[in-house]
Amino acid sequence: NVNGRLNIRTGRTPALAVVQGVVYAAWSETRSVPNSADTYDTVVVRHLGPSGWVSDGEINFGAIEGKLIIDIAIADVGGVPHVAFSQFTSKSFGASKVNKPGTVQVFKLSGASWIELGGVLNVSTNNYPNYLAMAIHGGRPYLAWQERSASGNNQLYVKHWDGASWVADGGSLNVNPASGEAGRPALASDGLKLWLAWAEGALGEKAKLYVRSFSGSTWSSAEGPLNIDSVNAPADHPALAIASGIVQVIWAEKDANSYTKQVYVKGRDTSGAFVSTPLGRWGANGSTAAIPSHTWVNMQAGGIALGNGVGDEGFD
C-alpha cells in the first residue's frame, strides 16, 4: 500500500525494522543550515501507525555543518528501536572542499528522545568509516563496519554492546588486513552463532566473497571464496538470512563471459558444506497493460509495457 512520501527533501540510505510488531523506517535527509547556504544530513525516523507514518524525530551527532551521512541501520533491541549510522564532514574552504574523518555511533529511542549509546565506535577518530550492518545476537546489538585511515585499506571491525560499553570482538576481520579492501559487510544471527559476510579484493585481483562465524568469544577462519568464479568474477554487496536454521548468503557477481551481473544464493550446513535450497519465483504477474494506439501511458518502475521487453531497464 502506498503510504505517501516520507522524506521532505533529498532522502537516501533507507533502512527498515520491525520493533514490537511496528514497522520503523530510518533514512538520511538533507537540511539547510540556519542563516547559511550550507546544508547537512540528518537521520529521520518514523513508524507506521494506524493512520499513517508517525514522526519519531531526528538524530544528529556532533556539529551539523557539512555533515554527510554514509549508511544507516536500525534494529529491535529488547523492544526498543536502535539506530546506527556512519558519517563524515565535508567543509568548504574557498573554492575547494576538504573531507574530514568520520564517526560511527548508535542511538536508542527513550521516550520521545534519541539517546547516544556508549559513544563513538571507531577504532580511531582519525579514520574514515563507511558501510555498516547491525544484528541482534544473544539479546545484544552487534555492529560491523568498514573503517580506513587516510592512506590505508578498508578494514572490517565488529563490536557489541554489553550493557555498559561497546566491546571489540577481535581486531580487523579482513582475510588480508595489510592490503585487502573489504567491501560492504552483512550480519545475521542463527541464535547460536553470529555470521559475517563481506567481499574483499586486493590489488590486481577480483573481489572474493567470504563468511565468518562468531561463537561468543572467537571468530572462525574465513570460509571461501564462495564466488561461483572466484578468479574472474568479482562479488559484491552480500546479504545474510537464516532459513530453517541454515544460514543463507546472497550476493551479486559479475559474470565474466556475458559481462552481466547475476544474483546467487548459497546455504551452509553445520559442517560447512553447500546446501542446495530450491528457489522458486514468488508472487504472480499482474494483468497485461492495455496501451491504446497514439496514447501516452505512465510506465511504472519494474513493469514491462510491451511484449518485446521495453520497460524501465534503462535502455536509451
Over residues 77-98, the pLDDT tens digits come to 999 999 999 999 987 766 677 8
Q: What is the pLDDT of residues 206-260, one digit of tens each?
A: 999 999 999 988 999 999 999 999 999 999 999 999 998 899 999 999 988 888 8
The verdict on whether omega for the bond into residue 225 sits within 30 degrees of 0, i.e. cis, is yes
Quote the pLDDT of residue 312: 45
Asked whether residue 4 carries a pLDDT value surpassing 90, the answer given is no
More confident site: 195 or 303: 195
What is the rounded average pLDDT of the residues 176-192?
96
More confident site: 251 or 10: 251
Asked whether residue 311 carries a pLDDT value surpassing 50, the answer given is no
Asked whether residue 310 carries a pLDDT value surpassing 50, the answer given is no
Quote the pLDDT of residue 299: 62
Quote the pLDDT of residue 65: 84
Q: For the chain, where are the E strands, in sequence order?
A: 11-19, 22-32, 39-49, 52-59, 67-77, 80-93, 96-110, 113-116, 128-137, 140-148, 155-161, 166-168, 181-182, 186-189, 194-201, 208-214, 235-243, 246-254, 261-268, 274-275
Binned at pLDDT 50, 70 and 90, residue 316 comes out as very low
As a whole number of Å, the end-to-end CA separation of the chain is 31
User: Is the alpha carbon torsion for 164, 136, 191, 215 positive or negative?
Assistant: negative
Q: What is the pLDDT of residues 95-120, one digit of tens each?
A: 677 889 999 999 999 999 999 999 99
Binned at pLDDT 50, 70 and 90, residue 2 comes out as low
What is the rounded average pLDDT of the residues 56-63?
94
Print the SS3 string covering 140-173. Answer: EEEEEEEEECCCCCCEEEEEEECCCCEEECCCCC
Q: What is the pLDDT of residues 141-150, one digit of tens each?
A: 999 999 999 9
Lowest mean pLDDT among 19-23, 34-38, 282-286: 34-38
Whole-angstrom distance, CA of residue 182 vs CA of residue 307: 42
